[in-house]
Amino acid sequence: MNNLLFFLSLIAIGFVVGTLAEKRHYRSIHEREKKLLYLPAVTMKTVINPDKKIASAELVYGSAVISIDYFKRFLASLRNIFGGTVKSYESLIDRARREALIRMKEMAGDATVIVNVRIETSTIGRSANRKGVGCLEAIAYGTAMTLEK
Amino acid sequence: MKYTIRQAGSNVNVTPTSPLREFFLLTAGLLGGVIGIYILLGLAVDLIVPRISTDLENKMGRLFIRSIEAKDMDSQRKSYIRSLLEDLQERCAQLPYSIKVHIRQASTVNAAALPAGHIIVYTGLLDKVASENELAFVLAHEMGHFAHRDHLRGMGRAFVFITISTLLFGTDSSISKMLAHGLNITEMSFSRKQETRADEFALETLHCNYGHVAGATDFFEKISKVEDPGKFGHYFASHPERRKRISHLENIIRSREFKLGRRDPLPKTWRQLKD
């Protein structure tokens, strides 16, 4: 019985704290995305602009590591039984990707455009459904180009 | 091609969902599945019990026996009960078990049949009985449970778990031991039908051993006078149909024309034999 209470309180804590943290993170993501809108990040290998010369081109990258909480983990393990989309992890991956993109843009500073953007994800601590902490890392990288004015 | 600055309106990568709703839905599904399996296990008991060999049962008995023997009391009454049981078994009730008696100190007016022919008798019962016939009836009742293998069915679903783990992991595995410990074997429940059959068996045995059936209903009579049934163990307390059982026994006695003779007394030193 005690074990069950302990487990339930862990889930409740995971739910409350995890939801609050996620909401705050999304607010911050929206805000910073808006601020960085001036800097386009595209997957094209180059931007054709014959009028202007390229002043500089450098590698920029940003990475973010997001951890799952107890509630999300439990929800995902339930999903492991029944199958279906693991909705509880979707927002985690989304947050990680967007945070990485934002950080990459922040690294680019006052560049004109970031080309050849790639996003990769990896897991840190694979035993997410067993013991240990399951984390997700997203890394975004590209080439920041500054055109001559 | 013109690059237009704009922020994505909606997020297609995150399903708009209520995690709590999903949580309760999935948990309910899981619990439903577990309950379904639990019910199926209950049904499986009746299928499995007739197929259990005494050999396997003895193996399972070894799981419990250590914890039972640890509380065993080396009583002089025990040897008396043992010889009484041997008499009953030799003369009247041949069972494929070598029955072992264990006496436990408790006010519970109770006896219990455990796997592999172990009978637990509580001192509360020994203090209450007044004649040998009465004691013999209670013991024969437990033997009746052995004869019909109710003691395996009474363990219910836990029995299925234990059988499977004994077969898979053997008796020495920690899993089997853990299961055996977690299971309160003295909290077995028998159905009314099983109790009635055990009563009938006990009556037959009593008649065969003594030539008469005096003392058969003594115990029920005695207990039914007591106001608070909670004080007594499950043997009688969990038998709310006590009156019915008495009349059932009396009906059999009448229809089979069993005689009622003199009750054999307990040894004179019975009261002093207390531990």
**B156 within 8 A of B45, measured Cβ to Cβ:** yes
Using a CB–CB cutoff of 8 Å, tell me whether B11 touches chain A.
yes
Can you give the pLDDT at residue B17?
Answer: 83
For the segment B181-197, what is each residue's pLDDT rounded down to a tens digit? 665 555 566 777 888 88
Reported as a pLDDT band with limits 50, 70 and 90, residue A118 is very high
Residue ranges per structural domain of chain B: 28-268
Q: Mutate which of A87, A102, A114, A147 to disrupt the B interface (most B C-beta within 10 Å)? A: A87
Most confident of A90-94, B5-9, B107-111, B254-258: A90-94
Q: Is pLDDT larger for residue B91 or for residue A114?
A: A114
Choose among A92, A120, A87: nearest CA to A21. A92
Of the residues A75, A77, A98, A136, the best mutation for testing chain B's interface (the one with the most B CB atoms within 10 Å of its CB) is: A75
CA–CA distance, B36 with B161 (Å, rounded to integer): 15
Q: How confident is the model at residue A105 (pLDDT cuts 50, 70, 90)?
A: very high
Q: Count contacts between A and B (CB, < 8 Å).
A: 46
Q: Which residue of B has its CA nearest to A80?
A: B26
Q: Identify whether the C-beta of residue A94 lies closer than 8 Å to the C-beta of residue A31.
A: no
- pLDDT recorded at residue B182: 60
pLDDT of A97: 95
Cβ pair B13:A85 closer than 8 A:
no
Please name the residues in contact with A103: beta carbons below 8 A apart, sequence gap of 6 or more.
Answer: A62, A63, A64, A140
Side-chain half-sphere of B219: how many Cα atoms within 13 Å? 32
pLDDT digits (tens, 9 = 90+) for A1-25: 677 788 889 889 999 999 999 999 9
Q: What element of type H or E holds B79? A: helix B76-91
Question: Which has the closest alpha carbon to A57: A148, A144, A147?
Answer: A144
Question: A37 and B17: CB-CB below 8 Å?
Answer: no
From A38's Cα to the closest Cα of chain B, the distance in A is 7
Task: List % helix, strand, coil for chain A (3-state, nearest 5).
Answer: 50, 25, 25
Residue B120: its H or E element: strand B118-122
| Cβ-based neighbours of B96, under 8 Å, separated by 6 or more | B54
For the stretch B215-243, pLDDT in tens is 888 877 766 554 344 444 444 444 556 77
In angstroms, the Cα distances linking A69 to A99, A109, B84 are 18, 33, 65
Question: Which one-letter DSSP state was computed for residue A41?
Answer: B
Tokens read off for B269: 């030193």
Residue B198 to residue B137: CA distance in whole angstroms: 10
Q: In chain A, what are the domains? A: 2-147 (3.30.110.70)
E strands, chain B, where? 100-104, 111-114, 118-122
Q: Give residue A95's pLDDT.
A: 94
Which residues from B are below 8 Å from A34, CB to CB?
7
Beta strand pairing call for B100-104 and A135-147:
unpaired
Per-residue confidence at B174, pLDDT binned at 50, 70, 90? low
Contacts of B4 in chain A (CB under 8 A): none
CA B59 to CA B52: how far, in whole Å? 11
User: How many residues in chain B?
Assistant: 275
Confidence of residue B125 (pLDDT cuts 50, 70, 90): confident
Question: What tens digit of pLDDT does each residue of A49-96 get?
Answer: 778 888 899 999 999 999 888 888 888 888 888 888 888 889 999 999
pLDDT digits over A122-144, tens only?
887 665 555 555 788 999 999 99
The residues in B 169-228 lying below 8 A from A, measured between CB atoms, are none
User: What residue in A sits closest to B29 (Cα-Cα)?
Assistant: A82
Residue B76 buriedness (CB in 10 A; 0-12 / 13-18 / 19+): middle
Which of B48, B41, B222 minimizes the C-alpha distance to B135? B222
Contact between B5 and A93 using a beta-carbon 8 Å cutoff: no
- In whole angstroms, what is the distance from residue B104 CA to residue B83 CA? 18
Q: What ipTM describes this predicted complex?
A: 0.74
Element holding A143 (H helix, E strand):
strand A135-147
For residues A90-113, give the mean pLDDT.
93
Question: Can you give the pLDDT at residue B264?
Answer: 81
In this prediction, residue B232 carries a pLDDT of 42
The pLDDT tens digits for A24-40 are: 999 999 999 999 999 99
Interface check B32 vs A, CB under 8 A: no
Give chain B's mean pLDDT: 77
CB atoms near residue B108 (< 10 Å): 22
